[in-house]
Amino acid sequence: MPFKNLEFIFPWRSYQEKFINNISRHIVDNHLHVVAPPGSGKTILGIEIVRRIGKKTLVLAPTLTVRNQWENRLQTFFVGNELFNDFSFDINNPKAITFSTYQSLHSFYKKFEQKAEYHAFFENEKIEAIVLDEAHHLKNEWWKCLFELKRDNNLTIVALTATPPYDSDALEVSKYFRLCGDIDEEITVPDLVKEGDLCPHQDYIYFSKPEEKEIHFIFEYRMRISNFIDELKLNTEFIAFINNHRFLKSTQKYLNEIYGNPEYFSAILIFLNSINQEIPEEKLYILGFEKNEKVEFPAFTNNWAEVLFQNLIVLDRLNLIEKESFLNELETKLRRLNIFENKKVDLIGDNQLYRSLSNSPSKLLSIVDIISNEYLNLKADLRAVVLTDYIKKEFKITEDKEVHSIDRLGVIPIFQHLRISSVSKVEIAVLTGTLVIIHKNNITAFGSIESLDNYNFIPFETDIEYVEIVPKAGANHLVNTITKLFEIGNIKVLIGTKSLLGEGWDAPSINTLVLASFVGSFVSSNQMRGRAIRTQKGNLNKTGNIWHLVCLDPTDINGGKDIETLKRRFDAFVGISNSEKNYIESGIDRLSIPDSFNDIDIQSLNDYTLNESKKRGVLKERWNNAISYGTGISREIKKYYTGDEAYETEKSQSFNDVVRYSFLELSVALSFFLPQFLIKNLNILITKGAMAFMYSLLTALGLSFGLKTYKSIKNYIQFGLLHKDLKRIADALLNSMYDLNMITTKRENIVLTTDILPKGEVVCAIKGATEIESALFINSLQEIIEPIKNPRYLIVKKNWFRKNFEIQNYYSVPELFGDKKQRCELFLKYWKIHVGASEVFYTRHLEGRKILLKARMFHLSNSFKETTKKAVIWN
C-alpha cells in the first residue's frame, strides 16, 4: 500500500462521510465520477479516493496553481508529524502520486513517435489510476491522449468537477462521458449550506430593453429574413429546383437517405405545402400516412427554412453539384443577409441577435441600478464584484457628459458609469490582468500592505481622483493586494474580468455578484457564481446575491435569445425558490419569471426584484426552512404544457366545452334549432318518411355542433389523462429496470410521484433511489416522452378512441432497452400491463422507418421547442 501512512486528520463533514462510504461500491467498474460545487472540498475528497484505491496514481489539474494545491492539501490534511515524500511534480519521474497538468501530459504524449512507447511507459511505471481534476476543462487534444491511455492500459479513472459541460456540443459531451463515465455521486449545494460551507444565496434577474438603434437593428434583421423567405416562395427558379430534387423525382430510389434525414424531406414538403402546392399522396405514404388520412402540415417557419437551407447549402451540397451555380447565388444571398457563417445557417438570430442583446449598453444602466440598490441596503458591509468579458480600454478617455453614449459592455464602460453614479467614488476599483485602477485616497492603505516603491501611480485620464497602478519590474503581488483592500473594505465595488477573477480567485467577503458576462458556458457561469456563495470566517450572517442581466428581444414573445441562454445555464444552478413555499431545485423555474414578455412592465418587475433582494434575513430563513423539509436530492422530469393558450384557460375551456357542447347546446338545439328545422324540412317528412327526416336532422346537428364537440372532447381527454399517462409510463419503466437489475435499491424504498403544476407542467419525480439509479431512470423517462428523435424501437399505442381523436400514440423505447430485442420485449410487457395495448416496431426496417417518420411528423410542432426538462430537487 503506497499510502498506508496517509490518513485524514480532521473530522469529515456528514456529506463527505456519506460519499466516502460509497467509494468502494462506485469504483468496481474502474470509474468514479463526482460532481461537487466549489467549497465542497473536492481536492481533499480526491486524495481520500486515491488513498482508498491504493494504486500508483497520476493526478491531472488544469493549472499549476491547482496542481500545487493538491500537494498542499495532502501535506496539510493527511500527514501528521512527518511530510509525505513519495510524490512528484514531474511526469517523467513518477512516484506513488504524481501531480501534473493536462498540458504537461499532452506535451509528454507528443514526445513519443511510437504511441506504443507512450502506453508502455505507464505500464512499466505501474501507474494504474488517473485523477482528472476540474474535468470540465478537458479539450479535444487532451482528450485523445487520455482516452488512449484508458483504452489500452485499463486504468482506473476518477473524474472530479463542479459542472459537467452539458452545454457543449453533443460530440464533446459524448467524449466527456466516455472518458469520465456516468456520474456516480453528486454533492449538492443544500448539503454544503446545511453544513455551513456555503452561505444562503439567491439568483436575481434584472431585465432591460434594447435601445432604439438596437430595436431598429432587430426589426430590420427579422424583416430582411421574412422578406427573403416571402420572395423565395414566389421564385419560380427556386420552386422548380425544389420540385426537381431527387427526393421528389426518384423517391423510392433514395428511401434510405430520406429515412436517414427525415427533417430534410419534411422541410421540402412543408415548403411546397406553404406555396399551396398539392403534395402527392405517394410522398405522404413515405411518411407512414395511410390513404385519405388527414395530414396537418406545420407552417414553413424560420426553423424549417433553416433546416432546408442548411441541407441545401452545406450537408447535401455534393449531391446537388449540377446546380452549383444556383446554390452559389443562394449562398451569396444568405451571406449578405448575415445568416450564413462558418458553414452554419442561422435564421433564428442565435449569433447576430444574441451578440446584440447580450452586449447591449442597456445593461450598463442595469448594473448601476443594482449596485446603487445594494449600496443603499448594505452600506459599509457591501462587497460587490462585477464580472465581464472584455476591458474595452478604448473608452478610458470618456468625459462625464459622454459616458451615457458608450455603446459597449466592458470593464471600463461599467467603471465609467459607476464612478458618476450615487455610489461612493472612493470605494470603486478595477482589477484585470492588464489594468488596475483605485481611488487616490486608497494609496495609503495600499502602501500599508505592500511597498509603494514597486509601483507607478498614474492619474486616470478623465478623472484625476483615480490612479492607474502600473507594476515595476519584479512586482507580482498586485492581485493579492487589491484583494486584501477589498476584503477589509477600502474597496467595496470591484470591477474585473472573468478570466482573472472568475475561477480560482478567492475573496470570501463577496456578498453581491453581478454577472455581466455574455461569453461563457455552464462551466464558467457556475465557477463565477461560486465566488459569491462561499462562507466568510467570522461572518455567520453572510448571504450572497447573484445578479444576472437580460436584455429582452421586443420581437419575440418569449423574450429572445438572451433569456433563452440564461434559462439553459440555470440548469447547472441549484438554488432556493422565491415563492411562498420554500423549495430547492435546479433550473430557472424556481424564480417564477414570466412565461411571455408581451406587455410586461419591466420597471415594475425590476422594482419588485430589487425589493426582494433587500430581504437577506428572510433569504436565510428560506434556506433553513427548505433544508429542514428534506434529507437529500432526488431527480424529476417536467413535461411542459405546449398549448397555444394559457393552461388554466385551455383546461377550463376544455372541461366546460365538453359539458356545454355535449349537453347544453343539445338542449338549445332541441329548443330553437328543431322547430326551425321542422318547418323548413316538413316536405321531407311528408314525401320521404320519418327515416329520411331523421337522417337529415342528424346530419344538420353534426354539421352545426359536431366539430366543436370533437375538439372539446379531444382537449379534455388530452388534459385529463396527461399526468395519469406519465405515472403509468414511469411505473412500466421502473419495473423493467428492476427486472434487468438496473435498479437494486429495495422496491419499497422507492417512491414515484406525479403532479400537475399550476401552469400545466406535469412533473414526475423518483425518490429513494441512488444517485446513479435516479439519473438513469430520469434520463430514460425523458427519452420516452420527449419529441421522437431516432430510436431503434418505437412503441405505438393501439387505442381506437385515442387514434380517432388524434391524441399522441407514439413513444420512443429508451436506449437502455433498445440495444437488445429481448430487453425491448421485456419493456413492452410492462408497458402493456401499466399503459395499455401497444405494439413495438424496429425502426431500422422499412415498415418501422415509415412509422418512425409518421411519429416524427406528429411531433413536428414541438420539434423546435423545449418540451421536457430534467431537474434536481431537495426533499
Q: What is the pLDDT confidence band of residue 685, given thresholds at 50, 70 and 90?
A: low
Q: Is the CB of residue 348 less than 8 Å from the CB of residue 306?
A: yes
Q: How confident is the model at residue 686 (pLDDT cuts 50, 70, 90)?
A: low
262-274 vs 302-310: helix axis angle to the nearest 10?
A: 120
> What's the pLDDT band for 670 if we cut at 50, 70, 90?
very low
Whether residues 754 and 683 share a domain: the answer is no
Residues contacting 344, CB < 8 A, separation 6+: 310, 314
Contacts of 716 (CB under 8 A, 6+ apart): 654, 655, 657, 658
Split at pLDDT 50, 70, 90, the class of 826 is very high
Taking 70 as the threshold, does the pLDDT of residue 643 lie above it? no
The answer to whether residue 865 sits within a structural domain is yes
What mean pLDDT do residues 298-308 have? Answer: 90
418 with 367: CB under 8 angstroms? yes
Residue 57 has pLDDT above 90, yes or no: yes
How much is the pLDDT for 376? 96
pLDDT tens digits for range 194-220: 989 999 999 999 999 998 888 888 888
What lies within 8 Å, CB to CB, of 285 at 6+ separation is: 291, 850
Instruction: Say if residue 141's pLDDT is above 90.
Output: no
pLDDT over threshold 70, residue 296: yes
320-341 pLDDT, tens digit each: 999 999 999 999 999 999 899 8
**How many CA atoms are closer than 13 Å to the CA of 129, on its beta-carbon side?**
27
- Give the pLDDT score at 166: 65
pLDDT of 131 above 90:
yes
| Mean pLDDT, residues 608-634 taken together | 91
List phi, psi (to 5°) of 586: -85, 160
**What pLDDT is recorded for position 132?**
94
More confident residue, 352 or 858: 352
Of 164-178, 656-670, 715-729, 858-872, minimum mean pLDDT range = 656-670
* Domain containing residue 114: CATH number: 3.40.50.300
Mean pLDDT across the chain, nearest whole number?
84
Give 488-521 pLDDT, tens digit per residue: 999 999 999 987 886 668 899 999 999 998 765 5
Indicate the pLDDT class of residue 465, thresholds 50, 70 and 90: very high
Q: How large is the average pLDDT for residues 376-383?
A: 96
Mean pLDDT of 680-699: 58
* In-domain check, residue 642: no
Question: Is 299 in a helix, a strand, or coil?
Answer: coil
Point out the least confidently predicted range of 353-362, 507-516, 620-629, 850-859: 850-859
Q: At what angle do helices 64-77 and 42-53 cross, to 10 degrees?
A: 70
Q: How high is the pLDDT of residue 471? A: 93
Is the distance from CB of 60 to CB of 132 less than 8 angstroms?
Answer: yes
Q: Is the pLDDT of residue 187 over 80?
A: yes
Work out the angle between the directed axes of helices 262-274 and 846-858 (0-180°, nearest 10): 50
* Top-confidence residue, 4 or 414: 414
Q: What's the pLDDT score for residue 186?
A: 83
Confidence of residue 660 (pLDDT cuts 50, 70, 90): very low
* Residue 446 covered by a domain: yes
Lowest mean pLDDT across 52-56, 162-166, 234-238, 545-549: 162-166
Task: Write down the pLDDT at residue 482.
Answer: 96
Among 616, 609, 612, 613, which residue's Cα sits nearest to residue 207? 609
- pLDDT over 70 percentage in the chain: 85
pLDDT number for residue 496: 93
- pLDDT band, very low/low/confident/very high, at 863 (cuts 50, 70, 90): low
> Is it the case that residue 821 has pLDDT exceeding 60?
yes
Q: 834 and 696, same structural domain?
A: no
Please indicate, yes or no, whether residues 434 and 558 belong to a single structural domain of this protein: yes
* Residues in contact with 741: Cβ distance below 8 Å, sequence separation at least 6, in sequence order: none
Residue matched to cell numbers 472518458:
179
Question: How confident is the model at residue 804, as a pLDDT?
Answer: 54
**Other residues' Cβ atoms within 10 Å of the Cβ of residue 73:** 17
149 and 258 assigned to the same domain: no
Say whether pLDDT at 697 is over 60.
Answer: no
Q: Is residue 771 part of a domain?
A: yes
Lowest mean pLDDT across 254-263, 520-529, 751-760: 520-529
Task: For residues 126 and 240, state if they share a domain.
Answer: no
Mean pLDDT in residue range 478-487? 94
Instruction: Specify the higher pLDDT residue, 252 or 859.
Output: 252
- pLDDT at residue number 555: 84
The mean pLDDT value for 58-77 works out to: 91
Give the tens place of pLDDT for each residue, 389-419: 999 999 999 999 999 999 899 999 999 999 9
What one-character-per-residue DSSP string does 93-156 give? S--SEEEEEHHHHHHHHHT-SSHHHHHHHHHHTT--EEEETTGGG--HHHHHHHHHHHHHH--E
* Position 327 in a domain: yes
**Residue 626 and residue 653 share a domain:** no
Q: Lowest-pLDDT range, 70-74, 276-280, 658-662, 766-770?
A: 658-662
| 662 band by pLDDT with thresholds 50, 70 and 90 | very low
Greater pLDDT, 536 or 810: 536
Instruction: Give the mean model confidence (pLDDT) for residues 812-830.
Output: 90
- Report if residue 416 sits inside a domain: yes
Q: Confirm whether 8 is domain-assigned.
A: no
C-alpha–C-alpha distance, residues 108 and 738, integer Å: 46
Give the residue numbers spanning the domain of 48.
Answer: 14-187
DSSP letter at 670? I
Q: Which DSSP symbol is given to 408?
A: S
> Is the separation of the CB atoms in 303 and 863 below 8 Å?
yes
Phi, psi of 220 (to 5 degrees): -60, -45
Q: Do 315 and 206 sit in the same domain of this protein?
A: no
* Tens-digit pLDDT profile for residues 779-789: 889 888 888 88
For residues 555 and 411, membership in a common domain is answered with yes
Is pLDDT at 557 greater than 70 in this prediction? yes
Q: Is the pLDDT of residue 572 over 80?
A: no
Beta bridge partners of 384: 493, 512
386 membership: H or E segment, kind and range: strand 384-388
On whether both 316 and 413 belong to a single domain, the answer is no
Domain boundary among 595, 630, 665: 630
Query: Are 613 and 652 part of one and the same domain?
Result: no
Same domain for 49 and 128? yes
Which amino acid appears at position 864 of this protein?
F
Place of cell 423546435: 864
Strand 428-431 relative to strand 493-497, pairing: parallel
End-to-end CA distance of the chain: 40
**Angle CA(204)–CA(210)–CA(214) in degrees, nearest 5?**
150
| Lowest mean pLDDT, pick from 78-92, 433-447, 592-606, 797-811 | 797-811
pLDDT of residue 856: 74
**Number of domains the chain is built from:** 5
Are 222 and 329 found together in one domain?
yes
User: How confident is the model over 661-690, as a mean pLDDT?
Assistant: 53
Side chain identity at 370, as an amino acid letter? I
> Is 158's pLDDT higher than 60?
yes
The per-residue pLDDT for 689 is 58
Evaluate whether residue 818 is within a structural domain: yes
What pLDDT, on a 0 to 100 scale, did the predictor assign at position 678?
58
Question: Edge-to-edge, what's the strand order for the sheet holding 574-576?
Answer: 574-576, 584-586, 868-874, 633-639, 762-767, 751-756
pLDDT at 799: 61
